[in-house]
Structures are given as C-alpha cells and as structure tokens.
Structure 1
Amino acid sequence: MPTYVALLNWTDQGVQNYKDTPKRAEAFGAALQKLGAQLLNIYWTVGPYDLVVVVEAPDEETATATLLQLGAVGNVRSTTLRAFGPEEMGRIIAKAAG
C-alpha cells in the first residue's frame, strides 16, 4: 500500500486544545481505518512542524480524503508527501534505467 508522510502544524484552535492531542490522534487513526487506510506512526515534534504522521492508504484519493477530514476538524494544517519504500524505489530505478 502506498505510504504518505504528513507534516502537520497546529492551528490556533489546535494549540488551545493541546491537552486533547492524544485523543485526537486516536480519532484520526480510527477515521483512517474506516476509509481503508492505516496510521503507521505519529510523532509530536519540535521545529518547523508540530507533528509528523506516517499513513498507508490504498490510493491517493483515500489519502487525500483522510487528510481533508483531519483538516476540516480545524486543529491542524497539513503538507503531505508521497513516500517510497526500498522495493518501490527499486522498481522506479529499473523503469528509469530502461
């Protein structure tokens, strides 16, 4: 399943409700499962991003839907990256090499 890395920043609302962040993470994981995706990891970070989440989703549409749902709650804004594992990168390199 494709992997996505989302870099999240808290909104003003998210910071004001920081005590609820573990519960929000659990709710996000449950919402992902309902759409056929999976939360692999979540990290609370120090630096330019407040959280980093690693998600597996069957396709880009599902990944986008889950992050739209997350953003609609109003606690975070996201920047999402498609990530490639070693096997996927090997196939990409093979295609590029011809």
Structure 2
Amino acid sequence: MPTYIALHNHRKEGSQTIKQLPERLEQATEIAHSMDCDVEYYLTNGQYDSAVIVDAPDERTAKQLALGVTSTGTVTTEFQRAFHESELEDLTNGIPTP
C-alpha cells in the first residue's frame, strides 16, 4: 500500500478542546480503518503539532481521509506521498539520463 505523511497543526478550535484529542484520534482511527487505511499518530515538537503516517489502498482514499480529518476544523493538514526505502531502487532506475 502507498504511504502518506500528514503533518498537522492545531487550529484555534483544536487547541481550545485539546483534552478531547484522545477521543478525536480514536474516531479518526476508526474512520481510517473503515476506509482500509492504517494510521500511526505522533505528537511532535517543532513546526508541526503532530504527524500521521497513513498506509492507504490508493491516493484517492488517502486524500479523502485527509479531507475528512481537515473538515473537522480542529487541524490544518499538509499531506504528501512518502516513498519507503524499499521503493528507492525502482524509483532511481526510472530516472532518465541525458
């Protein structure tokens, strides 16, 4: 399955209800599982408040999950495809040479 990384920042509404974060995370995980996605959640220090690793069946499903999470109004999301090191050789073999 393709892997994606979602980098989140808490919006004002999310920060004001931060104690509800465990429940929101549980709900988001249940939704992810219902979409055949696996998720790993990490609180982070630095520029982003959290990072989520998402394994999804395809890009469309992954994006739908990200849009659903963002639609709650509690976080903003920067969402991107991540390539595992096991994919490196295949990717580099496809680089055209001048």
TM-score, normalised on structure 2?
0.92
Alignment of 1:1-98 (within 5 A): 1-39=1-39, 41-96=40-95
Structure 1: runs of 5+ lacking an equivalent? none
The DSSP-based 3-state class of the residue aligned with 1:27 is helix
**Structure 1 stretches of at least 4 aligned residues deviating more than 2 Å after TM superposition:** none
d(CA) in 2 for partners of 1:46, 1:18: 16
d(CA) in 2 for partners of 1:81, 1:88: 16
TM-score, normalised on structure 1?
0.92
Residue 97 of structure 1 deviates from its aligned partner by: 6.0
The alignment of Structure 1 onto Structure 2 pairs a total of residues equal to 97
Residue 7 of structure 1 deviates from its aligned partner by: 0.4
**Letter matched to residue 18 of structure 2:** Y
Residue 50 of structure 1 deviates from its aligned partner by: 0.6
Structure 2: runs of 5+ lacking an equivalent? none
Kindly provide the CA deviation profile for residues 43-96 of structure 1, in whole angstroms up to 9, marking residues without a partner as x.
111211111000000111001000111011111010011100112111101222
The DSSP-based 3-state class of the residue aligned with 1:93 is helix
d(CA) in 2 for partners of 1:72, 1:59: 20
d(CA) in 2 for partners of 1:49, 1:69: 19
